[in-house]
Amino acid sequence: MWCGYFYLQRSIFGEVNFLFLKHKFLFSVFVIFFILVFISLGSWQIIRLNWKNNLILEIENSLKNPPVELSKANQENYLKIKTSGLIDFDKQIYLYNLNDNGTPGFEVINPILVNNENYLINRGWIPFEKKNSKGINFFDENNIIGTLKLQGKKNIFKPNNDIEKNYWFSLNREDISKFTGKEFSKYLIYLGGNYEFPKPKKITANISNNHKKYAITWFSLAISILLLYLYFRKKNY
């Protein structure tokens, strides 16, 4: 096995060495091109890293602020709000999701009318057996404190919603319009508070931020190619 591996490695280096000798100029251009591409990709990830860090800081600061009255003129992502409204329990949506412990169940979503504008309010998570239970609908709609979030895009890998059985995998706007007969704000209200069920989802600034890893990967590839190029150049000049 090891003999085969070393033979393959020697064969690869031999092929690269042959190409280097035959087409020195083109090989150099090819290598420099890819080095520049990888450096550009790494630099782009650094820019994205700075943007993401600033975004996380903005979210953290926003979540520390006291809630403000919800209005059409006062809407932004991760804004803490307080309001009251008319909630619709007849068009209650059960969205499949996991709770913080990884237990499957539903997030309970309701249409709510606030200042003549339709919103969806995510009231939190329930276990499967509490679906359609009247006990989950005790809710003070005159004293709502929560957080606004932009509605996310549909994940193409999730199954289609079963509207007839009220079993949802995504908040597809077309499906919601068919189910409720209404159009809604692009912002969702995530209810806060200490309700037992549905248990409100805790909103944090814990969002994906892998740009540093990606930048290191691209810069490492650029350095690796440069070192290989210098090795073959030194060996054959």
- Residue-wise pLDDT for 163-206, tens only, equals 999 999 999 999 999 999 999 999 999 998 888 889 998 888 77
More confident residue, 232 or 199: 199
37 and 89 housed in the same domain: no
Residues 33 and 83 in one domain: no
Contact (Cβ atoms closer than 8 angstroms) between residue 116 and residue 71: no
Q: How many CB atoms lie within 10 A of CB 61?
A: 11
Which of these, 113, 132, 107, 115, lies nearest to 203 by C-alpha position? 107
Q: What is the pTM of this model?
A: 0.72
CB 114 within 8 A of CB 75: no
Same domain, 26 and 132: no
Q: Which residue has the higher pLDDT, 234 or 133?
A: 133
Question: 108 vs 43, 55, 96, 121, 219, CA distance in Å?
Answer: 42, 28, 9, 8, 45
Identify whether residues 98 and 155 lie together within a single domain. yes
4 has pLDDT over 50 = no
Which residues, 6+ apart, have CB-to-CB distance to 141 below 8 Å? Answer: 84, 85, 86, 87, 112
Residue 65 included in any domain? no
Q: Is the pLDDT of residue 70 over 90?
A: no
Structural domain span for residue 228: 2-55+211-236
Answer yes or no: do 85 and 168 share one domain. Answer: yes
Residues 95 and 186 in one domain: yes
Domain count, the chain: 2
Q: Is the CB of residue 131 less than 8 Å from the CB of residue 104?
A: no
